[in-house]
Amino acid sequence: MKLNSEEQAILDGKSGTTMQKVMQTLLLYGQAVDATHMVTIEGEGHFSISGPFPGGDIPLYLLDELVDAGLRTKLPFTLNPKSPLDFENLGVTQAQKQEFKKMFRDETHYQRGMRKLGLRGRNDYTCSPYVFDGGNTPKRDMILAWSESSCVIYANSALGARTNRNAAIIDLLSNIIGKTPVFGLLIDEGRRANWRIDIETTELPNPQLLGTAIGKRVQDGIPYICGLDRFFTNQIDERARDYLKEMGATCAAIGAIGLYHIENVTPEALDQGRSLLLSDHRVHLINDSELQELVNSYPNMWDKQDSVPEKVMIGCPHLSLRELLEWTDRISGCLDKNGREKIAIDTVLVAPPQVLQLFREQHHAEHQKLQAAGARLSATCCEAYMTNRLCSSEAVLTNSSKLRAYTNARLVLDEQLVETIVTGNMQQSSNKTRLRNTKVKNPEEEYSENLLSKTQIPPTQVINIEKKVTTFHGRPLYPDNVSGKALVTRSGFNSLASFVDAMLNNSISAICSDHDSPDLYGRALTGSIFCIPKDENQLNVQD
């Protein structure tokens, strides 16, 4: 990767030792992704790690070194939601409260450091920074270095800005330098679609289901979506914005999609149409039947399958003001229909601090109505709430496929969810849990047995093959000879969902906790070599 004179001077240490380390890191990153050069970042940053998330945060020693060197990002940045420490808004028990305090004991230190590094404001913590006036809403073609997957996909797709799905820490370091390696979604060719997704549903599909279906099929590709324009105009109004936010967040969580195009709706599709499709693109049709099959396939990951729901979390990603008002109307209407004054299940609606302030100040009557019904409002992170082992053991419902993918929360669609919130009655799923016969390879992992007992994945097919050799061709980052057990997955590899339980349990080895991966779920990951075919037809079952 070529550096200009200014960049080379930083690499040579002329801006200090810490800045030199920052440039060295970005250079290695650029070389790993085969970038040719760097480009100047033009918009404010948005970073995924907003607090001392157990096992996944920026190490405090690194944070302190950057702060002590007097470094700041070239432009201000916003962060993902704060840690779940607003206990009165979450309805936590005393035991849960103490566990959270232990988990996030470095919160004050962390937040102080992020403010010194360039955090835009004390309330700029949300995974939906573009849903309110004055938020972090980049302009078309603006070069960014963002990380939060739901923000990346919205900025690229709905706004037409340009950012790759950068890793945590890389996002911060890029914005300190003020430059990012040029590759992938920053260049025109990298934004062309390799899938055409035809939507043939009778009505506008649920965004959570559609995002899941697209994510599973496309994985890390770029879809060009046809047929959704029946339900939208060519202007992205608040309704369309919220739909794209929800659908995109799910595409990014279930797959690894950083950009989608919607025919006659999103900016680049409006300008370029189907010329965005690569000549060898693949085609997939999504209809009502596929989406219903998807609903029926979701496993029940609760510790006790027949538990009574204890909590509902709504707002992953964070709700807009329009969505918050919509949920207020839904809950109020359902209460009236059932002759009730209070909801039956503890429910938390989660939104940006700025949206909650607008809700309180400009929609006072609705705010009072929602609180009178017993619902709670918070600006925290739903996923972070579920990282507390005492919270994840609860029977939690959600309407977010992203939260369902990363935790044991059960997905319930909006229409049924509001009935359950109000009445406490849970419609039973037609699915029955099927136990997997695979034996856990690492018996020292206490949590693995719990994982395996809840999966619906059928028994693994074992095939003995003599002298079978499969060769994967790629560009080595660090050439070496290694050996290990091959784990082949045809459904992509979701690193966060796969390792999150091991991270939270401080395990010495990892059992895959991604319950959306039929090939890897419940298997020992430590010491294995992941074989991930680029094309789902590249390997057959014998491989």
Q: Tokens 């404010």 appear where?
A: 44
CATH number (3.30.499, 2.40.50, 3.40.50, 3.30.70) of 25-181 reads: 3.30.499
pLDDT of residue 54: 65
The CATH 3.30.499.10 domain(s) of the chain lie at: 311-423
> In angstroms, what CA-CA distances link 315 with 343, 384, 390?
18, 12, 20
CA distance 317 to 155: 14
What's the confidence (pLDDT) of residue 486? 84
pLDDT of residue 379: 98
Domain 311-423 class in CATH? alpha beta
Is pLDDT at 457 greater than 60 in this prediction? no
Query: How are beta strands 38-40 and 179-181 bridged, if at all?
Result: antiparallel
Averaged over 413-435, what is the pLDDT? 76
Over residues 222-228, the mean pLDDT reads 98
- pLDDT tens, 287-316? 999 999 999 988 899 988 889 999 999 999
Q: Could you tell me which of 318, 327, 311, 312 has the C-alpha nearest to residue 379?
A: 318
Average pLDDT over residues 326-336: 98
> pLDDT: is 44 or 530 the higher one?
44
pLDDT-derived band at 535, boundaries 50, 70, 90 = low
**For residue 153, which of 189, 185, 122, 198 has the smallest C-alpha distance?**
185
In the predicted structure, residue 171 carries a pLDDT above the cut 70:
yes
Of 53-62, 195-204, 450-459, 479-488, give the lowest mean pLDDT range: 450-459
Residue closest to 496 by CA, chosen among 350, 352, 348, 386: 386
> pLDDT confidence of 518, banded at 50, 70, 90?
confident
- Say whether pLDDT at 437 is over 70: no
Q: How confident is the model at residue 435 (pLDDT cuts 50, 70, 90)?
A: very low
Beta-strand relationship, 346-350 and 77-79: unpaired
Kindly report the pTM of this predicted structure: 0.90
Q: What is the pLDDT of residues 348-362, one digit of tens each?
A: 999 999 999 999 999
